[in-house]
Amino acid sequence: MNWSVSTYDSAFGYVSAHGAPLIDLLDPQPGEKIIDLGCGTGALTVEIAERGAEVLGIDGAPEMVAQASALNPGLSFTIGDAHDFTTSEPFDAVASNAALHWMTRDPDAVIAHVHAALRPGGRFVGELGGAGNCAELIAAMQTAWRVFGLGEPELPWYFPTPAEYAARLEDGGFTIRLLEHADRPSRMTECPDGAADWVRLYAPSTLADVPPDMVEPLLARVNELAAPALRRESGWVADYVRLRFAAVRKPDGSTTLP
Ligand SMILES: C[S@@+](CC[C@H](N)C(=O)[O-])C[C@H]1O[C@@H](n2cnc3c(N)ncnc32)[C@H](O)[C@@H]1O
């Protein structure tokens, strides 16, 4: 499935729907107050600030906020869980890159808190893993775990379908302006040992209950299983699938026409 609403809307300026980087989809304006939710070390936060907006990076991990603050001393960062953060003033936009799929406890609560942080008409713009994200990597993990007689690995992500996330946004008081669900195969430059490194880096929690002497043979099997789909002559490629959206907080008291 791959669909989008490319209708021009002033809330999103001139940006064409397809392929624009998230920052262009957000289209920050000088003086706007914007939150970067799940900001990590602040890569997107910096880009937003460079467009002249007043930006606050929020992240649940204290070490991420410490690193973001150290790297970007002029910007504001704070520790907060996206499921229950509050703000003392309304914001013009909330942006989020590669973070919403880690917020698994209650996606509706995240959307509700974003809604509460925005002024009516405020924008919520994000990119996250969508349904089918890393399907080959995950299948290789599941098979390897089974082969080694282990229970199903408990995966730490939420990869919604476009229909599911659209329903959550609409039920949460947003009007969707754009929603794209697209394959984005990506070179795994950060994972020289391929799928095994990917598990070590992005899913270490799944290894917590694996007997220590089983970890390496298990990950070697993950590599064997994933290699036919994901290893190229030039290196490993992750089978990423991304969901990108731009939504607007509905005006207060708005009702749906019959
Ligand atoms: C893959 S990083 C993305 C960082 C950054 N947005 C970027 O594009 O580089 C995901 C971030 O989401 C944060 N995160 C995960 N769950 C969170 C939560 N419930 N509340 C706030 N931040 C969370 C993590 O701490 C991590 O920094």
Q: What is the pLDDT of residues 32-54, one digit of tens each?
A: 999 999 999 999 999 999 999 99
CA separation for the pair 59, 67 (Å, rounded): 11
In terms of residue numbers, what domain contains 208? 10-249
| Domain annotation covers residue 3 | no
What CATH number is attached to the domain comprising 203? 3.40.50.150
Contact 191, 230 (CB under 8 A): no
Tens of pLDDT, residue by residue over 66-115, are: 999 999 999 999 999 999 999 999 999 999 999 999 999 999 999 999 99
* 3-state SS, residue 219: helix
CA separation for the pair 169, 248 (Å, rounded): 9
164 lines ligand 1 (CB under 6 A): no
59 lines ligand 1 (CB under 6 A): yes
For the chain, what is the radius of gyration of the CA atoms? 20
Both tokens of 163, joined, read: 């229909």
Ligand 1 geometric centre to CA of 40 (Å): 5
CA 219, 225, 231, 233 torsion-angle sign: positive
CA-based max dimension of the chain:
63
Tens of pLDDT, residue by residue over 147-159, are: 999 999 999 999 9
The conformation of residue 100, written as its DSSP 8-state character, comes to G
Specify the number of domains making up the chain. 1
| Domain annotation covers residue 168 | yes
| Domain annotation covers residue 258 | no
| Domain annotation covers residue 194 | yes
| Domain annotation covers residue 142 | yes
Contact 107, 160 (CB under 8 A): yes
Region of poorest pLDDT, from 3-12, 20-29, 157-166 = 3-12
125 lines ligand 1 (CB under 6 A): no
| Domain annotation covers residue 5 | no
Ligand 1 geometric centre to CA of 36 (Å): 10
| Domain annotation covers residue 244 | yes
